[in-house]
Amino acid sequence: GLNTTVREGDEIMLYPALAGGAPPLDETEVHELAIEFEDKTAHDVLRWAIENLHPRLYIAWSGQVEDMVLLDMAWRINPAVRVFTVDTGRLHEETYRLMEEVYERYGVRIEVYFPEPSDVEKMVKEHGVNLFYRSVELRHLCCYVRKVKPLLRALSQVDGWVTGLRREQWASRHNIMKLEVDHDHGQIVKVNPLADWTEREVWQYIRENSVPYNQLYSRGYRSIGCEPCTRPVAPFEDPRAGRWWWEKDAPKECGMHCSIETGGFEKIADKLI
Ligand code: SF4
Distance 178 CA to ligand 1 centre (A): 27
Distance 142 CA to ligand 1 centre (A): 5
Confidence of residue 256 (pLDDT cuts 50, 70, 90): confident
Residue 105 burial class via C-beta count within 10 angstroms: exposed 0-12, middle 13-18, buried 19 and up: middle
pLDDT tens digits for 55-66? 999 999 999 999
User: Distance between CA 191 and CA 165 in Å, rounded?
Assistant: 9
Mutate to test the pocket of ligand 1, among 143, 257, 265 (most ligand atoms within 8 A of CB): 143
Do 114 and 150 touch, CB atoms closer than 8 A? yes
Distance 164 CA to ligand 1 centre (A): 19
Distance 92 CA to ligand 1 centre (A): 12
Going along the chain from its start, the domains and CATH numbers come out as 24-272 (3.40.50.620)
ipTM comes to 1.00
Pocket of ligand 1 (CB under 6 A): 88, 90, 132, 139, 142-143, 146-147, 225-226, 228-229, 254
State residue 209's pLDDT score: 98
Q: Decide if pLDDT at 254 tops 90.
A: no
Catalytic residues: 254
Was 258 annotated as part of a binding site? Answer: no
3 state DSSP class of 166? coil
C-alpha 88, offset from chain centre: 14
- Calculate mean pLDDT across residues 25-50: 96
**Percent of the chain beyond pLDDT 70?**
85
Closest C-alpha residue for ligand 1 atom 4: 226
Was 143 annotated as part of a binding site? Answer: yes
Was 229 annotated as part of a binding site? Answer: yes
**Longest Cα pair distance anywhere in the chain, in angstroms?**
61
State residue 242's pLDDT score: 85
